[in-house]
Amino acid sequence: DAGVTQSPTHLIKTRGQQVTLRCSPKSGHDTVSWYQQALGQGPQFIFQYYEEEERQRGNFPDRFSGHQFPNYSSELNVNALLLGDSALYLCASSLEDRASYEQYFGPGTRLTVT
């Protein structure tokens, strides 16, 4: 049973560019959340997708957008990259099940903005 997978593993971009990160949830999961983890910090919630819609959003600017596909996979897009966007981006999947409340994390995508 494959866990959460993310691609690419590492990415280097230049200020002002745009980037797309991808996530495939754990088999059977229907909800995807994205988190940003800056160096030396805890993960910060960006947004969550369920049934192909953004259900909840953290305190991130509109430059951060996302999408969920019918197969539950998800993309995170960041426009007009800033140096401060350099971080580890984590995808987490879960099941819309009140009895579970477990989020499974992928290995992350390390984004470096120069």
Partner 1 sequence: AQSVTQLGSHVSVSEGALVLLRCNYSSSVPPYLFWYVQYPNQGLQLLLKYTSAATLVKGINGFEAEFKKSETSFHLTKPSAHMSDAAEYFCAVSQPNFGNEKLTFGTGTRLTIIP
Rounded-to-integer distance, Cα 19 and Cα 55, Å: 22
Closest CB 78 distance from partner 1, rounded Å = 19
Q: Binding pattern to partner 1, positions 27-46, x when CB under 8 A? A: ----x-x-x----xxxxxx-
DSSP code of 70? T
Is residue 4 a contact partner of residue 91, using CB atoms and an 8 Å limit? yes
φ, ψ at 84 (rounded to 5°): -70, -10
Q: Which two tokens stand for residue 108?
A: 């992350």
- Report the number of secondary-structure helices (H) and strands (E) in the chain: 0, 11
Binding of residue 60 to partner 1 (CB under 8 A): no
Q: In the set 74, 81, 94, 113, which binds partner 1 (CB under 8 A)? A: 94
Binding of residue 22 to partner 1 (CB under 8 A): no
Question: Between residues 78 and 103, which has the closer beta carbon with respect to partner 1?
Answer: 103
Site of interaction with partner 1 (CB under 8 A): 4, 31, 33, 35, 40-45, 48, 50, 55-56, 58, 90, 92, 94, 98, 101-108
